Structure 1
Amino acid sequence: MPARRQALLLSSSNCHGYSMLEFAKKEICNILKKNEISELVFIPYAQKDHDTYTAKIKEVMEPWGIDVTGLHTYPYVIDKIKNSKAIFIGGGNTFLLLKTLYEKELLQLIKEKVDEGSLVYLGSSAGTNVATASIHTTNDMPIIYPPSFNAIGIVPFNINPHYTDMISETHKGETRDQRIYEYLQMMHAKPVLGLKEGSMLHVDGSHLTIKGIAGAVLFRRFDKKPEYFPPDSDVSFLWEPVKEV
Structure 2
Amino acid sequence: MRNMIIASTSSIHGTEYLSYLLPTLLEAFHKNDIQQLLFLPYARPGGISHMEYTEKVSTAFQKTPITVKGIHEFENPQKAIENAEAIFTGGGNTFVLVKMLHDLDLMSLLRKKIYAGTYYIGTSAGSNICGLNMRNTNDMPIVIPSSFKTTGAVAYNINAHYLDPDPNSTHMGETREQRIKEFHCYNDLAVVGLREGSYIRVQGNEEILCGTTTARVFTKDKDAIEVNPGYDFSTLFKAH
Aligned pairs for 1:17-36 within 5 A = 17-36=14-33
Contact kept in structure 1, 2:9 and 2:91, CA below 8 Å: yes
Gaps of 5+ in 1: none
Gaps of 5+ in 2: none
Q: For the residues of structure 2 that align with 1:219 and 1:175, how far apart are their CA atoms?
A: 14
Alignment-derived partner of residue 233 in structure 1: 231
Q: TM-score, normalised by structure 1?
A: 0.91
| Paired amino acid for 1:132 | G
Structure 1 residue 201: deviation in Å?
0.8
Alignment-derived partner of residue 43 in structure 1: 40
Q: For the residues of structure 2 that align with 1:210 and 1:230, how far apart are their CA atoms?
A: 7
Q: TM-score, normalised by structure 2?
A: 0.93
1:5-37: CA deviations, max 9, x gaps?
Answer: 111011011211321111112222233223221
Contact kept in structure 2, 1:24 and 1:212, CA below 8 Å: no
Secondary structure of 2:160's match? strand
Q: For the residues of structure 2 that align with 1:80 and 1:170, how far apart are their CA atoms?
A: 48
Aligned pairs for 1:205-224 within 5 A = 205-224=204-223
Bigger Cα displacement from structure 2, 62-71 vs 202-211: 62-71
Alignment-derived partner of residue 12 in structure 2: 15
Secondary structure of 2:62's match? helix
Contact kept in structure 2, 1:23 and 1:213, CA below 8 Å: no
Structure 1 residue 242: deviation in Å?
9.6
Q: For the residues of structure 1 that align with 2:188 and 2:15, how far apart are their CA atoms?
A: 34
Alignment-derived partner of residue 122 in structure 2: 123
Q: For the residues of structure 1 that align with 2:234 and 2:183, how far apart are their CA atoms?
A: 23
Q: For the residues of structure 1 that align with 2:95 and 2:20, how far apart are their CA atoms?
A: 26
Secondary structure of 1:22's match? coil
Q: For the residues of structure 1 that align with 2:156 and 2:24, how far apart are their CA atoms?
A: 22
Structure 1 residue 241: deviation in Å?
7.4
Structure 1 residue 234: deviation in Å?
2.2
Structure 1 residue 169: deviation in Å?
3.3
| Paired amino acid for 2:228 | P
Bigger Cα displacement from structure 2, 131-140 vs 169-178: 169-178
> What root-mean-square deviation, in Å, do the aligned CA atoms of Structure 1 and Structure 2 show?
1.6
Contact kept in structure 1, 2:7 and 2:122, CA below 8 Å: yes
Q: For the residues of structure 2 that align with 1:191 and 1:164, how far apart are their CA atoms?
A: 17
Q: For the residues of structure 2 that align with 1:163 and 1:79, how far apart are their CA atoms?
A: 35
1:90-129: CA deviations, max 9, x gaps?
Answer: 0110000000001111111111121122x11111100011
Secondary structure of 1:156's match? coil
Aligned pairs for 1:88-167 within 5 A = 88-117=88-117, 119-167=118-166
